[in-house]
Structure 1
């Protein structure tokens, strides 16, 4: 006797398959639109930006500024002559929840200024809404990904000037020592980490590009302390030994 699936089960399987295909179609569409939005941002194509933005979009750029659709789509002066920018998305992820799609990705920029090239990176999340006639962006937030700056070499005598113990509070001290051509920093006796010089009197820890130590000197050129800065905010350390 031949066995057949009940009609209801057949219809459920068809509907489930259709839903998967619809989700895949939406994911492909949103990925394309998102890259086109990045392309338009790089080139200043305000018509494409306007087409993909909801009128009430909440948009936070990499500098933390909140922009309206009008702010984004108003033509600006454009890039100076000899400056080009390209944005290529990687690490693209998308979750579709009915009429809402949430994405995350990395925008990899290639900026040419004459014969110089910069490659900054930005990580974004976007929220897209199916508004019936089109999918439009209703929210976006971007953060700039920091990279270590180029390091400069200092002489042994210059490195020795930073060696010592610095204090921000009675129980918060940093000790800097020199080992060969390298500076090491230890906070409250913890395991030392490497310090490199971005320029004279501005040091950083590799892998922590958001932070800087800006050293201060007296009128005789002697190091008296440093400011440990992150995003423009600093904690002052005075040299105690």
Structure 2
């Protein structure tokens, strides 16, 4: 029991020390992105490092370093780590951190959130970044208010398959929708005929009209791919 307590006591500070070390390294790497500081990345990346950027491009060490250039004229910004987790397994450490980017683009403020997963490897008593995968955390778009008459045009029952229907209706002045038989959720408008569900920014309901302007269907769009729901009589 004494040995176990001692092991836990020793592991705690060690884990904290490693988190402090790697977090500082990661923040320095993020700080180097805007000015395109390749030197720091060259010193930190392992020789066989793999980097997957937020657009899904898979790059080896050389390709990533080549892509690292200063922000263009009129753009400035910074990225800050907002949460950080690390787990060590021998000479490897697995990291997950969330980041917030603030950017000024020709006088307009932009905000983005990222989730990064990384593998660090201890080489000759120095931690090297062996792999990194950047994931964009999508935010809901701004919602606009549409006239009540427009909202009423979306109301109805839609079918994607004989056993799969979607209901859209107005409840207490609010447009709601969902799969038939399931709880309905508020539908918000990004623009006319393009709706979304709060907290589900990967999805859009894109309504389709006929030549007379009557709503005939909607496409449930996710990552550029559509499932068509046809409006029932």
- 1:132 is aligned to 124
Match of 1:69 in 2: 61
The whole-number CA distance in structure 1 between the counterparts of 2:11 and 2:181 is 58
Cα separation, 2, equivalents of 1:45 and 1:168: 51
TM-score, normalization by structure 2: 0.90
Structure 2 vs 1, CA of residues 238 and 22 (structure 1 numbering), >3 Å: closer, same or farther? Answer: closer
Separation (CA, whole Å) in 1 of partners of 2:210 and 2:10:
73
Q: 1:207 to 1:23 in 2, by over 3 A?
A: closer
Match of 1:216 in 2: 208
Distance 1:88 1:184 in 2: 37
Give yes or no for the alignment of 1:105 onto 2:97. yes
Structure 2 stretches lacking a partner, 5+ long = none
- Whether the 8 Å contact between 1:43 and 1:85 is mirrored in structure 2 is no
- Alignment gaps of 5+ in structure 1: 1-8
> Which structure is higher in strand share?
2
Matched with 2:189 is: 197
SS in 2 for 1:85: strand
1:79 aligns with 2:65: no
Structure 2 distance, partners of 1:219, 1:102, is 55
Distance in 1 (alpha carbons) for counterparts of 2:85 and 2:168: 43
In the TM superposition, what is the alpha-carbon distance from 1:20 to its structure 2 partner?
6.1
Distance 1:36 1:192 in 2: 45
Please tell me whether the aligned partners of residues 85 and 110 of structure 1 are also in contact (alpha carbons under 8 angstroms): yes
Cα distance change of structure 1 residues 133 and 74 upon mapping to structure 2, 3 Å threshold: farther
Pick aligned residue for 1:168 from 151, 160, 164: 160
Instruction: Report if aligned partners of 1:168, 1:236 keep a CA contact under 8 Å in 2.
Output: yes
How far apart in 2 are the matches of 1:193 and 1:26?
44
Summarize the Cα distance change of 1:98–1:154 in structure 2 as closer, same or farther, 3 Å threshold.
same
* Count of aligned positions: 230
Instruction: Identify the residue that residue 155 of structure 1 maps to in structure 2.
Output: 147
Superimposed CA distance per residue, residues 200-236 of structure 1 (whole angstroms, 9 cap, x where no aligned partner): 1110011111110111111111111011011112111
Q: Which residue of 2 aligns with 1:56?
A: 48
Per the TM alignment, residue 134 of structure 1 is displaced from its structure 2 partner at its CA by 2.4
Equivalent in 7, 30, 34 of residue 42 of structure 1: 34
Please say which structure displays the higher CA radius of gyration: 1
SS at match of 1:93: strand
